[in-house]
Amino acid sequence: MSKGVLKTVGTIAGAVALVATGVGAFAVAGSALAATAASVASIATVVSGVSSLGAQALAKPPPARGSVSQILIQPDAPQPYVMGEGYFAGVLRHDTGYGETLKKVPNPYRFMPVVYSGGGPIESISPRVDYAAVSSWYNGFLYTDTQLGATPEADALSPQWPGAPGWGTSSKLSGQAAIGWSFKFDKEGKVFASGLPLIGAYGQWVKVYDPRKDDTQPGGEGSHRLGDETTYEYSDNPALHAGTYAYGRYQNDTRVLGMGLPADGIDWAVVSAWANTCEANDWTMFGVLYEPGDRWANLKDICFAGGAEPVAGGKLTFKYSAPVVALDTVTSDDLVEGINSITGMQPFRDRINTVIPKYRSPSHNWEMVDAEAVVNNTFLTEDGEEKREVWPFNFVKDATQSTELAAYRMFDSRELPFTINCKPHMRHYRPGECLHIEIGELGLDITAIILKRQIDPATMTVTFEMLTETNAKHAYCLGQSGVEPSTPALSQTAEERDQIAAAGQLPFGYEESTLSAATIIT
């Protein structure tokens, strides 16, 4: 939208405040608005108080999700669901020490089955110790049994040394990607002298449905079938994860994860187009969500990783960041009498000119870190002060991607929300679609995205809640490059910690030999 249009709209919004007081339109003497006030009133009542619509239209930052590097230990722990490629510490499902005394160590064995993700079978899983592959240092003392989460699982995870209390052949974890960790403690050995190291798993996690690979979908090619999870494939594409999670994950015809929307309740054509955009922009995702939990909040977090927001309506669709083409032009002839509102600019409190993106950094043990702030100097000058926002992109693991998405968030905070009431022939346009608004009486010549549609069943007239779309922003946002913060010096490895701890211990049997050689004075 040009500054000239904004200025005109702002003038109209201010002038209508006089009309509302009863002074009358022609009280604005000498203005160009006076001559057309009657026709403007019959087409639209322009008001400046639409900040509530703007607040609803623009997403607010999500809460930052917790660490993925700390194992979750709690009664009735929730079900984890891991998307993309990355590291997760998992959820402990059982923990027991057992075994006959070995070299004066009672209960020398420990077995810990850890679940990493539901929605299996996943693509791959690999045990990690201190974020690295298990080294030869642990030969003879650490063993793992892994499963991808087949449905059903053929066998339960098996401890290296039999007899683990509370765990048997019936302790199957169908549909769960998991690792059974077995440890042996030996007083004569140096391994685990400093305690257990951090344990976790690195994987390519859940598989997803791709409508582009389903030849029953318009334009699709391939054998993917919605609901038949044996046809799903691994991907780290945010759009495909959003669509799959919205539909839900099923085992034996029972939904075990996800929202559970019907197949025709999701706009798969938009999912396909959005997935293509994610691939073109190199936007991927990695993250862990939990259920039970707020499924709508989970879906929004997935969408944020792909520069999108879910749009609820008769059919779930998605508003995603990409250049759009207007499907139609709305003129005054398409409007009906009613309240059609627009604002000259977003309220000052809602505009931002600086965004600090947070993302999950593989270089920082998969913790959330800050990328460099994204600052638009033009916006900063217009506002006269820094308007800062911190946005955690919980499912993003790349600094540049988080920076690009932050730039989009900054622009979206300045797009204009408005409402128009249209004649029945406009009702076939749906949320997420784009229209060009050309209303000369109001000085409007803008492109906008439909956020919400309401149809009056009595008159079949349709009300659109819309948000302006500035196509020029895409080149700016995608031209951003992220700078990862410096990596702190790495701490000691588990092997080094064990060696230091072992060196400080008395040799095995030292206390016993000292006592036997001592002279007892009475």
Q: Which pLDDT score is estimated for 511?
A: 45
**Residues 271-306 pLDDT 10s:** 999 999 999 999 999 999 999 999 999 999 999 999
Q: Which pLDDT score is estimated for 429?
A: 92
Q: Which of the four pLDDT bands, split at 50, 70 and 90, describes residue 362? A: very high
**Minimum mean pLDDT range among 2-16, 51-65, 229-243, 420-434:** 2-16
Query: Is residue 35 within a helix (H) or strand (E), and if so which, with residue range?
Result: helix 32-35
12 in Cβ contact with 340 (< 8 Å)? no
Q: Which pLDDT score is estimated for 480?
A: 81
Q: CA-CA distance, 421 to 455, in Å (whole number)?
A: 10
Q: Is 21 exposed, middle or buried (0-12, 13-18, 19+ CB in 10 A)?
A: exposed
Q: CA-CA distance, 77 to 290, in Å (whole number)?
A: 9
**Residues 207-247 pLDDT 10s:** 999 999 999 999 999 999 999 999 999 999 999 999 999 99
Q: Is 30 helix (H, G, I), strand (E, B) or coil?
A: coil
Provide the 10 A C-beta neighbour count for residue 290: 18
Of 216, 170, 130, residue with least CA distance to 496: 130
106-128 exposure pattern, b = at least 16 Cβ within 10 A, e = fewer: eebbbbbbbbbbbbbbbbebebb
Query: Is residue 37 within a helix (H) or strand (E), and if so which, with residue range?
Result: helix 37-43
166 in Cβ contact with 78 (< 8 Å)? no
Would the pLDDT of 389 be above 80?
yes
Q: Which pLDDT score is estimated for 233?
A: 98
**Residues 74-99 pLDDT 10s:** 888 999 999 999 999 999 999 999 99
- Of all residues in the chain, the percent with pLDDT exceeding 70 is 78
Query: Is residue 41 within a helix (H) or strand (E), and if so which, with residue range?
Result: helix 37-43
**Six-digit token pair at 102?**
């070995």
Q: Which pLDDT score is estimated for 190?
A: 79
Provide the 10 A C-beta neighbour count for residue 362: 17
Mean pLDDT throughout 367-386? 92
Q: CA-CA distance, 492 to 496, in Å (whole number)?
A: 6
Q: Write out the DSSP string of 11-27.
A: HHHHHHHHHHTTS-GGG
**Residues 169-214 pLDDT 10s:** 999 999 999 999 999 987 777 788 888 899 999 999 999 999 999 9
Of 170, 159, 57, 71, residue with least CA distance to 115: 71
Q: Is 356 left (phi over 0), alpha (psi -120 to 50) or beta?
A: beta
Q: Which pLDDT score is estimated for 345?
A: 64
Mean pLDDT of the chain: 82
In 248-306, alpha helices (H): 268-281, 295-305
Indicate if the alpha-carbon torsion angle 208, 212, 213, 214 is positive or negative. Answer: positive
Would the pLDDT of 487 be above 70?
no
Q: Which of the four pLDDT bands, split at 50, 70 and 90, describes residue 322? A: very high
| Greater pLDDT, 18 or 263 | 263
**Minimum mean pLDDT range among 119-123, 341-345, 409-413:** 341-345
Across-strand partners of 391?
A: 357
51 in Cβ contact with 350 (< 8 Å)? yes
301 in Cβ contact with 387 (< 8 Å)? no
Contacts 24+ apart (CB under 8 A), 453-462: 453/313, 453/427, 453/429, 455/427, 459/424, 460/424, 460/427, 461/336, 461/338, 461/421, 461/422, 461/423, 461/424, 462/421, 462/422, 462/423, 462/424, 462/426, 462/427, 462/429
What predicted TM-score, i.e. pTM, was given to this entire model? 0.80
Of 265, 249, 269, 246, residue with least CA distance to 257: 249
**One-letter-per-residue 3-state SS of 442-510:** HCEEEEEEEEEEEECCCCCCEEEEEEECCCCHHHHHHCCCCCCCCCCCCCCCHHHHHHHHHHCCCCCCH
Would the pLDDT of 55 be above 50?
no
**Six-digit token pair at 5?**
């249009």
In total, the chain counts a number of residues equal to 522
Of 350, 396, 402, 354, residue with least CA distance to 379: 354
**Six-digit token pair at 260?**
């559970």
Q: Which of the four pLDDT bands, split at 50, 70 and 90, describes residue 20? A: very low
**Residues 501-511 pLDDT 10s:** 555 555 545 44
Of 90, 69, 63, residue with least CA distance to 364: 69
Identity at 450, one-letter amino acid code: I
Q: Which residue has the tokens 């989970």?
A: 298
Q: CA-CA distance, 120 to 175, in Å (whole number)?
A: 5
Would the pLDDT of 50 be above 60?
no
